[in-house]
Amino acid sequence: MTVLIFKNLIRTKETSILFVMACFMLILPIVNLFNSDFMRISGEPESVSFLDFLAGEFDVQNMLILPMVVMAYLVVTAIYTPVATGRMFLYKDLSRTTIINAKVLALLGIYTIYVALQVAVTFGLYYLYIVRFDYASGLFLPASDASAAADVISIAGVVFGELLTIMVAVALATRFSTGIIMFGSILWICLCATLPQLAGARYAVPGGYGTLLPSLGLPVTLLLMLALSTVYAAGLYAYARRRFSRLEY
Amino acid sequence: MLTVSHLSKQYAGNPAYSLEDVSFTISNGEIVGLIGKNGAGKTTLMKMMAKAQRQTSGSIVYNGADIFSHDDMLDRFGIMIQPVFVPNISAEDNLRFYLGIHGDTAHERNIRPVLELVDMWRYRNRKPAGFSFGMKQRLALALALVNDPEFLILDEPFVGLDPDGVLQLITVLKQWAAERSIAMLISSHQLNELQELCDRFLFIKSGRLAAEFTGETGEITVIELSRPLTDAERASLIAETLQNSGRSAATIAPDGTSVEIDARSLELNKTIAALASTAGIKAIHDKSTQLNNYFGEGR
């Protein structure tokens, strides 16, 4: 069932838009033709590795917010709309747990392709274009382990935050209409962006653990981020599964 | 066989029951019509049979098993309650998707015959998002029929079909019922089509099963009386219209306000004369219009 639902979702306009957004960094060569500070990259000579560039790319995508808005709308298409329109009749009385699991896995599959596209586009852009600039090192990893660790934590913070955005949308879609789903998802995105700046609340979101890196090291910091994200995801999934199993339409 | 026992549905926050204490059975090969005005509870009943809604009380048993006891009990059901489809894939892919999610790819051989049956084969590569209402309805019908169901739940199946399509659908459904012993529950406001198709009717009024009657058409005369018959008048009428079989030609309604008799019965004149001189006759009509009367009563 997951494969069938995935095949339907990948043919939607929302998915096409999401994949186009994954290629957003391809505008960099065009932007550089203009004498503008927009998306300007700078640094010491040979200081920017591929991993540094990739971490920057994930940051840019995250700040755009639009990809996650589109992802939330895809959740609406996959979970809310079939209930609201009665399309759930197609499933007759198949296990609701099986259905919601298939939908969530299909959505995560779309997200995985989105991330993979970002990595692929960034890889191509770095080694075909960025390496021409003197700030590019041409190396896959940064020269220092500390920089590499910081890049990994930065990327993980974005990815965990986005995965939780999907789960927030899934949970909301089992109860509320499109407007509330979009509002709730965007609220979570904003929390992920702002809470890391607040000393008392930064550890409530995955992206707030970067400050622990110097003291705890990469494995422990990553583990803490993973543990927090898992707890959130499990709670949201449990709620969504329970609500979905009791839905009437 | 499907048995609905004391089925009720009360929505949260609503003191009234949308469906209350409904009981009936549908045997294999039987086609049953479900009639009633809008809001009577027909769709609520069908949605509970489709397990889209949970019952407040009561049960639905199919071939000896309570359909609410486990998941995937409706495997042999075909359901068309509203036009549903995946809008961004073609009509043919919609049927493949439906069979695929139920692990029933063996019935993919039925896709072309069923789409041809509902006159949608030429639109098989088009996406339903661009279909007219009638085309969406026909696609939904194809989805209900594609897996060779044993029990069909059809809500307004004739909407969107042209007269030839209606005739074809009636012919196919009657044939399927006879040859494959498919049982059907069909709800429609198109009473002529229902009368052509159904063996029996269930009349839902204000959430209750108000009447249940067979689909005898045009051969039964119904005599409505000005007042109910007394017990003595009942006994007298039965005695006067006794046939060689030992049974009365006249069937008196439980409340005594109407009498039914075969339109070609030898006892017809005697019955009319007896009733005219006792309770008095208010109206006489054939059973085919009784369907309209039930429906009209509910307006």
Residue B289 has pLDDT above 60, yes or no: no
Q: Give the number of domains in chain B.
A: 2
Residue B297 has pLDDT above 60, yes or no: no
Nearest beta carbon to residue B74 from set A11, A93, A248: A93
Give yes or no: residues B87 and B196 share one domain.
yes
Chain A interface with B: residues with Cβ < 8 Å: 1, 4-5, 8, 11-13, 85-96, 248-249
Question: What is the band of A185 on the pLDDT scale with cuts at 50, 70, 90?
Answer: very high
Q: Do A92 and B100 touch (CB under 8 A)?
A: no
Does any domain span residue A124?
yes
What would the pLDDT profile of A117-129 be if each residue is shown by its tens digit? 999 999 999 999 9
Structural domain containing residue A162:
43-244
Residue B290 has pLDDT above 70, yes or no: no
pLDDT of res. A39 = 65
CATH of the domain at B176: 3.40.50.300
Does any domain span residue A135?
yes
Residue B291 has pLDDT above 70, yes or no: no
Predicted complex ipTM: 0.85
Residue B142 C-alpha, separation from nearest chain A C-alpha, in angstroms: 12
Give yes or no: residues B254 and B150 share one domain.
no
Residue B266 C-alpha, separation from nearest chain A C-alpha, in angstroms: 52
Chain A residues with beta carbon closer than 8 angstroms to that of B74: 92-93
Residue B298 has pLDDT above 50, yes or no: no
Mutation pick from A74, A92, A100, A249 vs chain B, by most beta carbons of B within 10 Å, is: A92
Mean pLDDT of the region B170-190:
85
Q: How many CB pairs under 8 A join A and B?
A: 66
Chain B residues with beta carbon closer than 8 angstroms to that of A100: none
Give yes or no: residues B111 and B243 share one domain.
no
pLDDT of res. A157 = 94
In the numeric block, which tokens belong to residue B42? 């027909």
Does any domain span residue A111?
yes
The alpha carbon of residue A206 and the mean position of all alpha carbons in its chain are separated, in whole angstroms, by 12
Give yes or no: residues B176 and B104 share one domain.
yes
What would the pLDDT profile of B78-88 be if each residue is shown by its tens digit? 999 988 899 98
Distance CA B250, CA B228 (A): 15
Write the DSSP assignment of chain B as a string of letters. -EEEEEEEE--TT-SS-SEEEEEEEE-TT-EEEEE--TTSSHHHHHHHHTTSS--SEEEEEETTEETTSSSS--TTEEEESS----TTS-HHHHHHHHHHHTT-GGGGGGHHHHHHHTT-GGGTTS-GGG--HHHHHHHHHHHHHTT--SEEEEESTTTT--HHHHHHHHHHHHHHHHHH--EEEEE-S-HHHHHHH-SEEEEEETTEEEEEEE---SSEEEEEESSPPPHHHHHHHHHHTB-TTSSBSEEE-TTSSEEEEETT-TTHHHHHHHHHHTT-EEEEEEHHHHHHHHHHHT-
Domain end residue (candidates: B181, B205, B229): B205
Mutation pick from A89, A96, A245 vs chain B, by most beta carbons of B within 10 Å, is: A89
Does any domain span residue A212?
yes
pLDDT of res. B283 = 92
Give yes or no: residues B35 and B157 share one domain.
yes
Domain end residue (candidates: B156, B174, B205): B205
Mean pLDDT of the region A208-228:
91
Residues in chain A: 249
CATH of the domain at B274: 3.30.70
Distance CA A71, CA A181 (A): 11
Does any domain span residue B201?
yes
Question: What is the band of B299 on the pLDDT scale with cuts at 50, 70, 90?
Answer: very low
Residue B216 has pLDDT above 70, yes or no: no
Structural domain containing residue B124:
2-205
pLDDT of res. B263 = 80
Q: Do A91 and B101 touch (CB under 8 A)?
A: yes
Does any domain span residue B78?
yes
In the numeric block, which tokens belong to residue B253? 């309604």
Question: What is the band of B288 on the pLDDT scale with cuts at 50, 70, 90?
Answer: low
**What percentage of chain A reaches a pLDDT higher than 90?**
72
Distance CA B34, CA B215 (A): 12
End-to-end CA distance of chain A: 21
Residue A33 has pLDDT above 80, yes or no: no
- Bigger pLDDT: B260 vs A111: A111
Residue B292 has pLDDT above 90, yes or no: no
CB atoms within 10 A of CB B192: 13
Does any domain span residue A27?
no
pLDDT of res. B195 = 80
Q: Which segment of A73-87, A113-127, A234-248, B212-226 scores lowest on mean pLDDT? A: B212-226
Burial of A175 (0-12, 13-18, 19+ CB in 10 A): middle
pLDDT of res. A28 = 85
Chain A residues with beta carbon closer than 8 angstroms to that of B52: 86, 88-89, 248-249
Does any domain span residue A54?
yes
pLDDT of res. B161 = 77
Give yes or no: residues B201 and B246 share one domain.
no
- The reported pTM is 0.82
Give yes or no: residues B148 and B33 share one domain.
yes
Mutation pick from B48, B79, B84, B95 vs chain A, by most beta carbons of A within 10 Å, is: B84
What would the pLDDT profile of B97-131 be if each residue is shown by its tens digit? 999 999 999 999 999 999 998 889 999 999 998 89
In the numeric block, which tokens belong to residue B97? 């998707």
Residue of A nearest to B104 (CA): A1
CB atoms within 10 A of CB A124: 13
Give yes or no: residues B122 and B183 share one domain.
yes
Question: How far apart, in Å, are the Cα atoms of A106 and each of A7, A188, A224, B161, B164?
Answer: 8, 22, 27, 36, 42
Residue B221 C-alpha, separation from nearest chain A C-alpha, in angstroms: 42
Phi, psi of B282 (to 5 degrees): -95, -40
* H/E run at residue A182: helix A178-194
Does any domain span residue B85?
yes
Question: What is the band of A37 on the pLDDT scale with cuts at 50, 70, 90?
Answer: low
Q: Which segment of A33-42, A48-57, B14-23, B160-169 scores lowest on mean pLDDT? A: A33-42
Q: Do B79 and A1 touch (CB under 8 A)?
A: no
Give yes or no: residues B162 and B83 share one domain.
yes
The alpha carbon of residue A170 and the mean position of all alpha carbons in its chain are separated, in whole angstroms, by 14
Does any domain span residue B87?
yes
Give yes or no: residues B199 and B223 share one domain.
no
Give yes or no: residues B27 and B143 share one domain.
yes
pLDDT of res. B217 = 52
Chain mean pLDDT for chain B: 87
Domain end residue (candidates: B161, B178, B205): B205
Does any domain span residue A1?
no
Give yes or no: residues B56 and B149 share one domain.
yes
Nearest beta carbon to residue B71 from set A4, A93, A249: A93
Q: Give the number of domains in chain A.
A: 1
What would the pLDDT profile of B258-287 be if each residue is shown by its tens digit? 998 888 788 888 889 999 999 999 999 877
pLDDT of res. B294 = 63
Chain B residues with beta carbon closer than 8 angstroms to that of A249: 47, 52-53
